[in-house]
Amino acid sequence: MKADPINVLTGVHFLDGDTACAEGALAAGCRFFAGYPITPSTEAAERISERFPLVGGIFIQMEDELASMAAIIGASWAGAKSMSVTSGPGFSLMMENLGLAVMMETPCIVVNVQRGGPSTGLPTMVGQADVMQARWGSHGDYEIIALSPNSPQETFDFTIKAFNLAERYRVPVLVLMDECVGHMTERVVIPPAEEIELEPRRFTKLPPEKYLPYHPNADLVPEMIKAGDGYKIHTTGLTHDERGYPVMSAEAQHKLVKRLVEKIRLNAAAIYDITEVNVDGAEVIVVAYGITSRVAQPAIEMANQKGTKTGFIKLNTVWPFPTERFRKIAQNVKAFVVPEINMGQIALEVERAAAGQAITIPIPHAGGSVHKPEDIYKVIVEVVQ
Amino acid sequence: MRANSETPEHPMEALLRMDRIPHIWCSTCGIGTAVSCFIEALKKSGIDLKKVAVVSGIGCTGRVAGYVKLDSFHTTHGRAIPFATGLALANPELKVVVFSGDGDLIAIGGNHFIHAARRNMNLTVICVNNFIYAMTGGQLAPTTPILANSSTSPYGNFDAPFNLPLLAASSGAVYVARWTVLHVRRLSKSIGEALNKRGFSFIEAICPCTTLYARRNKLGTGLDLLKFYHDNSEIRHGADPRELDIGFQKKIIVGKFIDYEKPIFFDRYNEGMRQALGDRFVEYKLDSN
């Protein structure tokens, strides 16, 4: 289906990333926003509070992020596309109900505009240290989808994509921005509504007496209903069977958790999205995401100019991680260099995927600013020497 | 399930998930009675059952959502109210009922409780108060009376409990009542009134927990507790909520304390936006998705 023109601010704009994120949500048909103000994400909430009354959406400022996350799950079950926007400390509070959204298989979007941590950390300054939290932050075993834009334009585009993936796989999808991307202001082109493709909710066509809320299709994703349609379904955060009824057994746990994990793992090739530049024939490949993928560009150019064949992989999705692709690339490359604004998180994934075929060199940065391109350049050059 | 085709149908069967019976509640627990009162009220209310959603949190009462044959959501500990807030806002046609326990709604969920009441969110909240955390084995609750024994107050509780009607009323609830589960007709009538109320309605249902609360405190059987309610409840409609504290094995004042009208969240939102934006305001409709 196509986007509704009422939601789409078609034209060329000069927007910060947070605002572009809000516009992306609108274009995707988001109709419910629950959130709690937190720097550096507040501009997104402010924009939505201004725009929603003009397009028939509901904005509510909740008492905290626990409530915000719970409310967007409830709203999704009522049939609305829903979203919340936060940063580190709020993201931590959302972990509880993020797990509930995974367990109930509820499409919804959480945007984390990352700042420096741990704890209150650097509220106004950049970080990328929530990447592993995004993957593992809620208790129990699950798989998640997370996208990482590096510009206001990508933030607009990826937010729409996040909504589509959430509907397609019935999962909460995370948009991992960072403070730099959230606060930088750039040209954003918003296309006409008819050029924006949206994934409809996978509502069942079965009558209530034949419908099982957690009976999966061949792609392991079950069809959904919305409250009030007469299906009288039950859903729970407890381990459950295909009826949605709690079942306390190792067998039920195995069946459910395996499916929740596999609906992402087995579809990973269709979900993950990376941009490869000069990967063939490269000696060294720089792997980066978010703002760091831009900071790395001068370093890569300089290295290539000075004769080090340097490729580049940008992770548009950080989760699921494209393990297979990296394992293949690792066969023909000497090293992966991984600058990120944390003490080495995605570097661990790259190292795992490389499986000893290529070395992985993290370039850690504790946050508060971006890397200096020359620091990345130095590492690239040292690797080949 | 009925034992055989000869067994007459239970009058509440249509509203229960009979394929989940027997339930997990202990013999002489009062939660089942509270559920019966709710179902009775719902049947009498004439509300379209397709449009009723029940949301529970965690705990013994948290299991209610699993037994009612309605759209029913068993959520996380303390978060039934914000989950219900999302449901109620995103589909204003729904009648959303939060059915949960005192620990879930008032301890871990206390912040959500007061804020939903403040906003006059269109929710009916039924709080079964058994004075204890029963599911986890009888620990101290924010409702445990002073001096009562629990597994985490083995020398007696010295921590002041909440007066739930006062909390609800002072936070902005438009309907507040308290009954024990002995008062089945009155409890059911109050739930019916609450269901037909627009805004945040709150009912406290005092309920025996024989297995944990009564046994630890040597209060006898479930029947003894009901006898205690019978002898020690005083109906005082319109009582000042400040006078509704519950002492250990002391008099329990029951009745309807608060019942008035004021705009719900959506009334204020829509009216305010219409004034601020005029024709530019687009009212929320679920179909606009």
Question: What is the pLDDT at residue B4?
Answer: 65
Domain boundaries, chain B: 13-263
Torsion sign across C-alpha atoms A242, A248, A252, A257: positive
Q: Which of B123, B125, B121 is nearest to B265 (CA)?
A: B121
Return the SS3 of A264.
helix
- For A3, which residue in chain B has the nearest alpha carbon? B289
Count chain A–chain B contacts defined by CB atoms under 8 A.
Answer: 172
Is residue A91 within 8 Å of residue A115, measured between CB atoms?
Answer: no
Q: Quick one: average pLDDT of B59-73? A: 97
Binning pLDDT at 50, 70 and 90, where does residue B2 land?
low
Residues from chain A contacting residue B20 (CB–CB below 8 Å): 245
Average pLDDT, chain B: 96
Residues from chain B contacting residue A73 (CB–CB below 8 Å): 75, 83, 86
Q: Which residues of chain A, if any, have pLDDT below 50?
A: none
- DSSP β-ladder status, A172-178 and A274-277: unpaired
State the nearest Cα–Cα gap between B143 and chain A, in angstroms.
Answer: 23
Element (H, E) at A375: helix A373-384
pLDDT digits (tens, 9 = 90+) for B140-177: 999 999 999 999 999 999 999 999 999 999 999 999 99
Element (H, E) at B31: helix B31-45
* Cis, peptide link before residue A89, omega less than 30° from 0: no
DSSP code per residue over A283-347: SEEEEE-TTHHHHHHHHHHHHHHTT--EEEEEESEEES--HHHHHHHHTT-SEEEEE-SSSSSHH
CA distance A134 to A172: 11
CA distances for A324 relative to A16, A293, A328, B57, angstroms = 35, 21, 6, 41
Residue with the two structure tokens 């990296």: A326
- The answer on pLDDT for B287 being more than 90 is no
Pick the CATH number of B13-263 from 3.40.50.970, 3.40.640.10, 3.40.309.10, 3.40.47.10: 3.40.50.970
- Closest CB from B91, B115, B283 relative to A56: B283
Q: What is the ipTM of this complex?
A: 0.97
Question: What is the pLDDT at residue A291?
Answer: 98
Q: Is A31 in Cβ contact with B90 (below 8 Å)?
A: yes
- Closest CB from B75, B85, B288 relative to A237: B75
Strand runs labelled E in chain B = 52-56, 71-74, 95-101, 123-129, 175-180, 201-206, 233-235, 252-259
Question: What is the pLDDT at residue B286?
Answer: 85
What single-letter DSSP state applies at residue B8?
P
Domains and CATH numbers, chain A: 5-195 (3.40.50.970), 275-384 (3.40.50.920)
What single-letter DSSP state applies at residue A59?
E
Can you give the pTM of this predicted structure? Answer: 0.97
CA distance B195 to B178: 15
Residues from chain A contacting residue B265 (CB–CB below 8 Å): 60
- The answer on pLDDT for B38 being more than 90 is yes
- The answer on pLDDT for B7 being more than 80 is no
CA angle A272, A267, A227 (to 5 degrees): 105
Question: What is the pLDDT at residue B5?
Answer: 67
Question: What is the pLDDT at residue A64?
Answer: 98
CA distance A75 to A33: 9
pLDDT digits (tens, 9 = 90+) for A288-308: 999 999 999 999 999 999 999
Q: How long, in residues, is chain A? A: 385
State the nearest Cα–Cα gap between B270 and chain A, in angstroms.
Answer: 9
pLDDT digits (tens, 9 = 90+) for B209-227: 999 999 999 999 999 999 9
Q: Which of A323, A329, A16, A5 is nearest to A188 (CA)?
A: A16
pLDDT digits (tens, 9 = 90+) for A112-165: 999 999 999 999 999 999 999 999 999 999 999 999 999 999 999 999 999 999
H helices then E strands: how many in chain B?
Answer: 9, 8
The count of C-alpha atoms lying within 13 angstroms of the C-alpha of B132, restricted to the half-sphere facing its C-beta, is: 29
- The answer on pLDDT for B289 being more than 90 is no
> In sequence order, which residues have a C-beta less than 8 Å from that of residue B274 and are 6 or more positions away?
B281
> In sequence order, which residues have a C-beta less than 8 Å from that of residue A352 and are 6 or more positions away?
A323
